[in-house]
Chain A
Amino acid sequence: MRTLWERLAERFALLSAIASASITLLILLFMAYMGLPAFKAAGAGQLLLSPWDPYAGMYGVLPMIVTTIRLSLLSLAFAIPLSLGCSFLITAIAPAPVARGLRRMIELMTGIPTVIYGFVGIFLLVPLLREMLESGSGMCILAAAMMLAVMISPTMTLFFCDSFDRIPRSYLNAADALGASPIQKLFHVTLPSARAGMLNGVVLGLGRAVGDTLISLMLAGNSIDMPQSMLDSARTLTAHIALVFAADYESPEFSSIFTCGLVLYVFTTMTTLFVRYYGRSEAGRA
């Protein structure tokens, strides 16, 4: 009874699914394929573990990897307390209308483009840091981390709030029946049950911090040195790609950006897998 149209439509749905899924694989393949010259020329070890110095023939991306790690961890260090506090506020502490309004505002904030954070960062944050710290140009890991934290906090807050909301009502009712105050309920019932969801939120925030390009490109200074402190100018993997990408097609420099792309892809895939499997096992337990 299935007409030709229906069969075509179903075929189309299948093809779309296959095409979309294969994009994921294609990205990986292209990164590997285009990065092949670099691997052949230098070997994976040297690429990942040595510094970047084209004039000395070194095309390693170690400083970029270290910078990405430092930047994302620092921004998480700012963002986690901020998001936790806001989610506490919305879920337990603020009166209901205030909490609703706050949540609406935070939902709006997630729509602000990243380039705007970078833009304002250059003209507002960087001179401020430069004067306050009395050294350096103000363009450093700290500046980028602060802006990055402001950018990922709304998303993380909403994620935390959602995982708090998913707790079975019966738990909360039980706590109320025993006479718990809102904060006691928060700490003794909500937080322990939402642990998996919160960890997921943190890992997602980490993924966003690692993958962000504009803020680190505009605010972190982009020097090729290995950063010694958070006040140093430094370059992340993402900024490196943006800076070097159009330089040359076959040179080892160009191929090195595919190494960066590969590292980023592998890292975000690992965080995705972690979120899936850890979330699933925790949900199974709870």
Chain B
Amino acid sequence: MRQRGVEMLVTIFAWLSGLLLLCSILAVLVYLLVKGYSALNLTLIFGETDPWQAILLRERVFDGLFPAIVGTLALVTLSIIWAIPVGVATGIYLSEYAGSFSRKVLNLCFDILSGVPSIVVGLFGFAFTVFLHKHYSSQIKPCLLISSIALSTLVLPYIIRTTQAALEAIPRDIRLTALALGATRFQNIALVLIPRSLQGIMSGVILSIGRCAEDTAVIMLTGAVASAGIPAGLTSQYEALPFFIYYISSQYTTPEELGMGYGAAIILLIICALLFALAFVARKGLSHATLYRP
């Protein structure tokens, strides 16, 4: 009898927690949608400027989210460009070439790196910039380039781990087949192993993209500013969507600006949701595309 009572309590507790968690998150999302719904229109993104002129970069956009969206896109693209080669290569090295001692050391380093808080990574990026500024060239300042490098170190552990896990999950017989036919180690990796592990790597990459898009702490310290327009080049300061949301939340001067903040939050959510869905599709779809070549 007592057991029945305990079981009922546990059941109630479990359902309650599930409901509580779901309701809290739903509250967050619904609140955002309700408050930001009315702000979602082209003016939110382009301000007073004509959308086509803005997209073709012929006219500047003030009072719109377009520079922040472009800034985030540029930032994410750059970070991934730095992170993918280094991350995938390291993952390959870890799973294919490393001896057991170096594997232990490397795994330890990457575990530690993945646990480092994002603001410490941002602080590192800033300190590095100041160091270079003082000792090498006074032209070096916090900018898009530095932010993207710092952000790529943030997501490097994800890419390394997923690459390594994807490669190590390949069954032994598949690994050995090409080698038995006379392929070199490198040919084996490039032509057999990587295509098989592509879906794992891709989902890791897409999740890293999401991480880069939403991060605020790193870019706060390495080059994101409140007002900069479209970044003119790698060495310019830039605006970013999550930074805009943070900044607006404490410094809005009119209800319209606050509405822009809500709108920006919704746009950021949509971007992250899309990336997530993309990762899911990639996981399911890429394996089909690479392995069943007609």
Which residues does A use to contact B, with CB under 8 Å?
1-2, 6, 9-10, 12-14, 16-17, 19-21, 23-27, 30-31, 33-34, 81-86, 88-90, 92-94, 102, 105-109, 111-120, 122-124, 150, 153-154, 157, 181, 183-184, 186-187, 207, 210-214, 217-218, 238, 241-242, 245, 249, 257-258, 261, 264-265, 268-269, 271-273, 275-276
User: In the complex, A241→B13 CA distance in Å?
Assistant: 39
Contacts of B187 in A (CB 8 A): 6
Most interface-central of A93, A154, A157, A213 (chain B CB within 10 A): A213
Contacts of A272 in B (CB 8 A): 111-112, 114-115
- Closest 5 pairs between A and B when the two form their complex, measured CB to CB: A85-B17, A211-B117, A113-B214, A16-B89, A21-B109
* Contact (A105, B22) CB under 8 Å given A13-B92, A20-B87, A20-B90: yes
Contacts of B106 in A (CB 8 A): 17, 20-21
CB distance from B294 to the nearest CB of A (A): 29
Please report which residues of chain B, range 235-294, place their CB below 8 angstroms from some CB of chain A when the two chains form the complex.
242, 245-246, 249-250, 261, 265, 268-269, 272-273, 275-276
> Would you mind naming 26 contact pairs between A and B with Cβ atoms under 8 Å apart?
A17-B89, A17-B90, A17-B94, A26-B124, A82-B21, A85-B17, A86-B18, A94-B14, A106-B21, A111-B276, A112-B25, A112-B272, A119-B32, A119-B261, A120-B265, A150-B25, A150-B28, A154-B21, A213-B119, A214-B217, A238-B117, A245-B123, A261-B123, A264-B119, A268-B112, A272-B114
* Contact (A86, B17) CB under 8 Å given A24-B112, A26-B124: yes
CB distance from B15 to the nearest CB of A (A): 6
User: In the complex, A24→B121 CA distance in Å?
Assistant: 10
User: In the complex, A207→B275 CA distance in Å?
Assistant: 25
Residue among B6, B28, B118, B275 making CB contact with A116, cutoff 8 Å? B28
Please report which residues of chain B, range 35-92, place their CB below 8 angstroms from some CB of chain A when the two chains form the complex.
35, 85-87, 89-90, 92
B268 touches A116 (CB 8 A): yes
Name the residue of chain B whose CB is nearest to the CB of A210: B117
User: In the complex, A181→B250 CA distance in Å?
Assistant: 52
B124 touches A238 (CB 8 A): no
Contacts of A10 in B (CB 8 A): 97, 186
A214 touches B123 (CB 8 A): no
B156 within 8 A of A: yes
B85 touches A9 (CB 8 A): no
CB distance from B14 to the nearest CB of A (A): 4
CB distance from B127 to the nearest CB of A (A): 5
User: In the complex, A117→B272 CA distance in Å?
Assistant: 14
Most interface-central of A106, A114, A218, A276 (chain B CB within 10 A): A114
A27 touches B120 (CB 8 A): yes
User: In the complex, A172→B62 CA distance in Å?
Assistant: 62
Please report which residues of chain B, range 98-132, place their CB below 8 angstroms from some CB of chain A when the two chains form the complex.
98, 102, 105-106, 108-121, 123-124, 126-128, 130-131
B273 touches A108 (CB 8 A): yes
B116 touches A27 (CB 8 A): yes
